[in-house]
């Protein structure tokens, strides 16, 4: 998975970053050197601060993401099964979908405070729609011609659902899950930047207030790395559970 | 035996109405081989779908003999329609899954794959097959069911001439051994004469001609007798005034 070219690209970016400081293109305050950031990262790891903030953020994302799935999947299934429900609530959902979750932050803070509930609320808001739409779209796009194959085999409805409709819908569902995961991670860090007392986003604003750009950069790198790791984990799970979906996943780079 | 009495099928299309089938009276004796020919859009697939129970007729009825279980029907569609998430073996055994002991399903799948010449591809995914190979998988999927009624919709259209001949012979062999009731749709008159005990000619939703092919199997499509049948059927299909008009009978 980690090809030489990938390593070369990352190395080149770090090299450029180092060069920028070394040749004095930017001040060491605005862009601390890679070595400084690495040192800071070491300190943050040694003091346990990085682990603490990361764990807080990861816990929020896991909870929020799991909660969003338990909310979005059944709701989407209801929508798939009931045309009246669709007709009634579709416009409302379409309206809600247009609102960026972070725009709801002020209200959420008033309603839920700035504790865990509000963070998880933001995550649910940000990844509900990708998951919901993935499930809905997956079921809507099932090929009638494949259902015919089950019908002539004498399958009853439950068997058609389980053996034809569900596997057909899976690619879109998986894509929705992947997009949702990315959204939730980004929304969380955003929420932590605005109002929080722990988490990677908080670590960054706190460092900014102390004029510690090295910590800011270290935090940014960790956020990127953890997001990437979560995505890789999801892809790995799918690759092992449903290898035929591996190709469909590439649509999900959102 | 299956009997169709006064079957008709209308579709609403773009505000108007298309009559895909009209006044179809047809008896399919148990164990018979019927070939259905006619140009594109004449209603062959619609008739097959009604026989398969995938579509209900707008008028008329299908009569079946009372029997214990449901009729085992095998269908080969015009396109392969494989499940993209199953490998070839999984697709072949698709209709048997959970209905037979595992080893029996496996044995039947192996035999069917062998029959269609795809044993080496048992583990391949549908995306890795050519069109003709996929269609052969679909044929195997229908055969493993050991159907009492076998409905085939232009099953060999995607095959090359050599595979096609081999598959035609295999089909006749299977039919002679197991005696399912076969309905074979094609727009190739030569193929119809090669395979069918009788050939039904369709035009604009109606059966307009019938020809019993009194030739022993295996047949030689280039034999003078076969050619004679072919010429008769073609002449009739071309002479029909409806043949000059490519669209099916459209009503407003
Ligand atoms: N689901 C449908 N909705 C509307 N019209 C349909 C539908 N299915 C078939 N028709 C119409 O019925 C007519 C007969 O179609 P059918 O598919 O039976 O033709 P066919 O003889 O199988 O043609 P081909 O040789 O091209 O497969 C056509 O005019 C077609 O447009
Ligand atoms: Mg057809």
Complex-level ipTM: 0.87
Q: Predicted confidence band at B252 (pLDDT cuts at 50, 70, 90)?
A: very low
Residue of the CA atom closest to atom 6 of ligand 1: B11
Neighbour-count burial of B193, counting CB atoms closer than 10 A to its CB (0-12 exposed, 13-18 middle, 19+ buried) = buried
Q: Whose Cα sits closest to atom 19 in ligand 1?
A: B41
Show the tokens assigned to B101.
Answer: 């002991």
Q: Do the Cβ atoms of A164 and B83 come within 8 Å?
A: yes
Determine the Cα–Cα distance for residues A101 and A94; give it in Å rounded to an integer.
14
Tokens for A199, please give them.
Answer: 């988490």
Whether residue A205 is contained in a domain is answered as yes
When scoring A147, A152, A245, A248 by the number of chain B Cβ atoms within 10 A, the one with the most, hence best to mutate, is A152
Whether B64 is in a domain gets the answer no
Tokens 């389980």 belong to which residue?
A: A162
Contacts of A147 (CB under 8 A, 6+ apart): A160, A164, A165
Cα–Cα distances in Å, from B244 out to B20, B206, B240? 18, 16, 8
Q: Which ligand is nearest to the CA of B20?
A: 1
Rounded to an integer, the average pLDDT of B126-139 is 91
What pLDDT is recorded for position A105? 85
Q: Which region among A46-50, B28-32, B69-73, B78-82 has the lowest average model confidence (pLDDT)?
A: B69-73
Percent with pLDDT over 70 in chain B: 94
Q: Please indicate, yes or no, if residue A115 is contained in any of the structural domains.
A: yes
pLDDT of B74: 94
Asked if the model's pLDDT at residue B28 lies above 90, the reply is: yes
Residue scoring higher pLDDT (A127 or B70)? A127
Tokens 């169709």, located at residue: B4
Which residues of B lie inside 8 Å of A (Cβ-Cβ)?
52-54, 70, 72-75, 77, 79, 81, 83-85, 94-95, 97, 125, 145
d(CA B165, CA B244): 31
Which residues in chain B have Cβ-Cβ distances shorter than 8 Å to A145?
77, 79, 81
Q: In this structure, what CATH number is given to the domain that contains residue B82?
A: 3.40.50.300
Residue A3 inside a domain? The answer is no
**How many domains in chain B?**
1
Give A154's contacts in chain B (Cβ within 8 Å).
Answer: 70, 72, 95
Q: Which of B83, B105, B150 to mutate to test the interface with A (most CBs of A within 10 A)?
A: B83
Cα B243 to middle of ligand 1, angstroms: 16
Any domain includes A96: yes
Provide the residue count of chain A: 254
Cross-chain residue pair B83–A167, CB shorter than 8 Å = yes
Q: Which pLDDT score is estimated for A251? A: 59
Rounded distance from Cα B211 to ligand 1 centre (Å): 24
Instruction: Tell the residue nearest (CA) to atom 16 of ligand 1.
Output: B43
Chain B partners within 8 Å of A146 (Cβ): 81, 83
Name the residue of B7, B8, B9, B11 whose CB sits within 8 Å of the most ligand 1 atoms, as the mutation to test its pocket: B11
Ligand 1 centre to CA of B57 (Å) is: 14
Give the CA distances from residue A233 to residues A139, A230, B144, B225, in Å, rounded to whole numbers and listed in that order. 25, 5, 40, 68
- Are residues A244 and B84, on separate chains, in Cβ contact within 8 Å? yes
In whole angstroms, give the CA distance from residue B114 to residue B107. Answer: 11
Give residue A21's pLDDT: 86
On the question of pLDDT at B250 being above 60, the answer is no
pLDDT tens-digit map of B186-238: 989 999 999 999 999 999 999 999 999 999 998 988 899 999 999 999 998 88
DSSP chain B: -EEEEEEEEEEEETTEEEEEEEEEEEEE-TT-EEEEE--TTSSHHHHHHHHHTSS--SEEEEE----SS---EEEE-SS----TTS-HHHHHTTTTTTTS-HHHHHHHHHHHHHHTT-GGGTT--GGGS-HHHHHHHHHHHHHTT--SEEEEESTTTTS-HHHHHHHHHHHHHHHHHH--EEEEEES-HHHHHHH-SEEEEEETTEEEEEEE---PSSP-TTSHHHHHHHHHHHHHHHHSGGGGS-S--EE-
At residue A237, the pLDDT reads: 86
In which domain, by residue range, is A73 found?
34-139+168-228
CB A127 within 8 A of CB A68: yes
Asked if residue A59 belongs to a domain, the reply is yes
Which of B75, B85, B129, B137 to substitute to test the interface with A, most A CBs within 10 Å? B85
Tell me whether residues A152 and B85 touch, CB distance under 8 A: no
Cα–Cα distances in angstroms (integers) from residue B133 to residues A63, A149, B82, B147, in the given order: 47, 18, 11, 22
| Coil/strand/helix, residue A25 | coil
Interchain contact, A149 vs B77, CB within 8 Å: yes
Q: Are A153 and B54 inside 8 Å of each other by CB? A: no
pLDDT for B14 = 87
d(Cα A227, Cα A231) in Å, to the nearest integer?
6
Q: Which segments within A51-135 are labelled E, that is strand?
A: none
State yes or no: pLDDT of B49 exceeds 90. yes
Res A1: pLDDT: 62
* SS3 assignment, position A74: helix
Residues in A closer than 8 angstroms to B74, CB to CB, are 152
- Cβ neighbour number for residue A30 with a 10 Å cutoff: 9
Domain count across chain A: 1
Contacts of B145 in chain A (CB under 8 A): 153
- Interchain pair B54, A244: CB under 8 A: no
The A residues from 134 to 193 touching B (CB cutoff 8 Å) are 145-146, 148-149, 151-154, 163-164, 167, 170
pLDDT of B5 strictly over 80: yes
| Residue B139's pLDDT band (cuts 50, 70, 90) | very high
The verdict on residue B8 lying in a domain is no
C-alpha A162/C-alpha B142 separation (Å) is 21
Judge whether B251 lies within some domain: no
Instruction: Tell me whether residue A5 is in a domain.
Output: no
| pLDDT(B137) > 70 | yes
Cβ pairs A/B, distance under 8 A: 39
Structure tokens, A54: 């990361």
Mean pLDDT by 10 residues, chain A (254 residues): 86 92 85 90 92 93 94 92 90 89 86 86 92 92 93 92 92 89 88 87 90 91 92 86 71 52
Q: Would residue A250 count as lying in a domain?
A: no
The per-residue pLDDT of chain B, averaged, comes to: 90
How long is chain B? 252
Q: Using CA positions, which residue lies closest to atom 13 of ligand 1? A: B20
Contact between A145 and B94 using a beta-carbon 8 Å cutoff = no
C-beta separation of B88 from B124 below 8 A: yes
Could you give the C-alpha distances from A146 to A141, B34, B42, in angstroms and in order?
11, 26, 24
Q: Could you tell which of B41, B184, B185 is best to mutate to test the pocket of ligand 1, judged by most ligand atoms within 8 Å of the CB?
A: B41
Return the CATH number at A108. 1.10.3720.10
State CA A14 to chain mean position distance: 25
């Amino acid at each position: 998975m980690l090809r030489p070219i990938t390593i070369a690209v990352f190395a080149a970016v770090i090299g450029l970053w180092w060069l920028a400081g070394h040749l004095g293109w930017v001040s060491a305050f605005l862009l601390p050197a890679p070595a400084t950031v690495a040192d800071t990262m070491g300190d943050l790891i040694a003091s346990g601060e990085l682990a603490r903030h990361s764990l807080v953020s990861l816990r929020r994302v896991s909870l929020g993401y799991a909660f969003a799935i338990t909310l979005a999947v059944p709701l989407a299934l209801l929508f798939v099964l009931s045309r009246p429900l669709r007709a009634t609530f579709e416009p409302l959902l379409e309206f809600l979908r247009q609102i960026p979750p972070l725009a709801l932050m002020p209200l959420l803070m008033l309603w839920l405070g700035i504790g865990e509930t509000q963070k998880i609320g933001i995550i649910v808001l940000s990844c509900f729609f990708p998951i919901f739409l993935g499930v809905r779209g997956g079921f809507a796009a099932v090929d009638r011609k494949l259902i015919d194959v089950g019908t002539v085999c004498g399958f009853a409805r439950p068997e058609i659902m389980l053996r034809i409709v569900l596997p057909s819908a899976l690619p879109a569902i998986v894509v929705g899950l992947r997009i949702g995961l990315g959204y939730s991670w980004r929304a969380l860090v955003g929420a932590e930047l605005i109002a929080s007392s722990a988490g990677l986003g908080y670590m960054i604003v706190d460092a900014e207030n102390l004029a510690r750009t090295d910590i800011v950069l270290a935090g940014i790198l960790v956020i990127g790395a953890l997001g990437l790791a979560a995505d890789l984990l999801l892809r790995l799970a799918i690759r092992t559970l449903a290898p035929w979906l591996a190709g469909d996943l590439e649509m999900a780079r959102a | 035996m299956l009997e169709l009495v006064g079957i008709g099928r209308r579709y609403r299309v773009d505000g108007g109405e298309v009559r895909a089938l009209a006044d179809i009276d047809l008896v399919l004796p148990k164990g018979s081989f019927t070939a259905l020919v006619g140009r594109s859009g004449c209603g062959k697939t619609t008739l097959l779908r009604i026989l398969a129970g995938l579509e209900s007729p707008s008028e008329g009825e299908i009569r079946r003999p009372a029997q214990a279980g449901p009729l085992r029907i095998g269908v080969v569609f015009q396109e392969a329609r494989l499940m993209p998430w199953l490998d070839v073996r999984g697709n072949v055994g698709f209709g048997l899954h959970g209905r037979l002991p595992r080893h029996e399903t496996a044995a039947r799948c192996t035999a069917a794959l062998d029959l269609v010449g795809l044993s080496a591809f048992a583990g391949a995914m549908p995306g890795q097959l050519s069109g003709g190979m996929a269609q052969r998988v679909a044929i195997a999927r229908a055969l493993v069911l050991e159907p009492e009624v076998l409905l085939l919709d232009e099953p060999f259209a995607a095959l090359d001439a050599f595979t096609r001949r081999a598959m035609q012979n295999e089909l006749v062999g299977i039919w002679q051994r197991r005696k399912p009731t076969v309905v074979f749709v094609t727009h190739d008159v030569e193929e119809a004469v090669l395979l069918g005990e009788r050939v039904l000619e369709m035009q604009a939703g109606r059966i307009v001609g019938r020809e019993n092919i009194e030739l022993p199997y295996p047949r030689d499509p280039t034999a003078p007798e076969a050619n004679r049948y072919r010429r008769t059927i073609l002449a009739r299909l071309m002479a029909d005034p409806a043949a000059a008009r490519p669209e099916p009978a459209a009503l407003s």
